[in-house]
Amino acid sequence: MEAATAATAAMMWFRKGLRVHDNPALDAARRHGAGAASARLYPVFVLDPRYLRPDAVAASPGSARAGVARIRFLLESLSDLDARLRRLGSRLLLLRARDDVADAVCAALKDWNIGKLCFESDTEPYALARDKKVTDFALASGIEVLTPVSHTLFDPEEIIKKVFETRMLIIQNGGRPPLTYQSFVSIAGEPPAPAMEEYSELPPLGDTGEYELLPVPTVEELGYGDISQEEIPPFHGGETEALRRMKESLQNKEWVAKFEKPKGDPSAFVKPSTTVLSPYLKDVHRSVRNHTKPPVSLTGQLLWRDFFYTVSYGTPNFDRMKGNKICKQLRNWGWMHHLARHSVACFLTRGDMVCPVICKACIE
């Protein structure tokens, strides 16, 4: 690739935000300079062996690997993303990392002579270490790096900065992340509006050289064929399905207005009494008048999710049992207050992280 082209060659590194609409990182990747389009665009997803090596008892204690239902959902999401990119004149470049995703991304940046790297910000501990390695390499190589926030409504780092900037909260909270839902809401304010611009095409693909560009594999091809699954989940991955579900849910304005989380029916399996959007959660809706209020409303559920991410970002050892003070009561007593158990249930079920040790302890 010629040096003149490198400055306008961009990589869009997909990770969690497997969508085309309302994707600030993708929007940044397709642009060059003052509104001009990038000459070449490389939309990339890297299969991570940390999660994808089959584990018959996943998620088992100490294992980061995902169960077959989650893998199936991911593969469906990748297939849908690829289809949507193809409709825009592009495609998903699927790579497989041997050991380290960061090494695979850095190699592609170098081999494809990338001038700009864009990816969605991620505050989870594993992602922070991975992204720092890639960012350090890119900056040292003269590559521009853009990491907009779009996995959450608010930037957890900015929320924590607001705590420091508010004198009263510094005194009361010691400069820590907000530790209650209401304090988080009062600090956060109104979320920014989603990106509304739509586009009919993306810049053309660049030359990938000798790289083997994989089709989206099946669960069997990943080695999950021998892992039993009693039934196929009724919820299919992908931006297309997520938007369909959101539109279907929000068309019932009376239901949206009167939605209250505690009044949902967990035994409603044929037609769930909630949106079933947590696996897909990528967007935010506008509420209607005469509606229920946070924390029980639909909007409140989005704010709970952001609150969780903010606390996790500002709390050392949040992803570990060892050294994590909030796990001491469970470890020592084998019991927690019902509100603490509710917090654990949210931790497990709202698409954030999985902690099977806590889950097993709560059940037993």
Q: List binding-site positions for FAD.
A: 274-278, 301-308
User: Which residues make up each annotated binding site?
Assistant: 274-278, 301-308
Nearest one of 106, 114, 104, 75 to 92, comparing CA atoms: 75
Buried b / exposed e over 91-116, threshold 16 CB at 10 Å, is ebbbbebeeebbbbbbebbeebbbbb
* Beta-strand pair 31-32/36-37: antiparallel
Say if residues 108 and 59 touch (Cβ distance below 8 Å): no
Instruction: Enter the DSSP assignment of 295.
Output: T
Provide the residue type at 78 as one letter: L
Side-by-side strand order, sheet with 144-146 = 93-96, 40-47, 9-13, 116-119, 144-146
Q: Are strands 93-96 and 40-47 parallel, antiparallel or unpaired?
A: parallel
Segment holding 182, helix H or strand E: helix 181-188
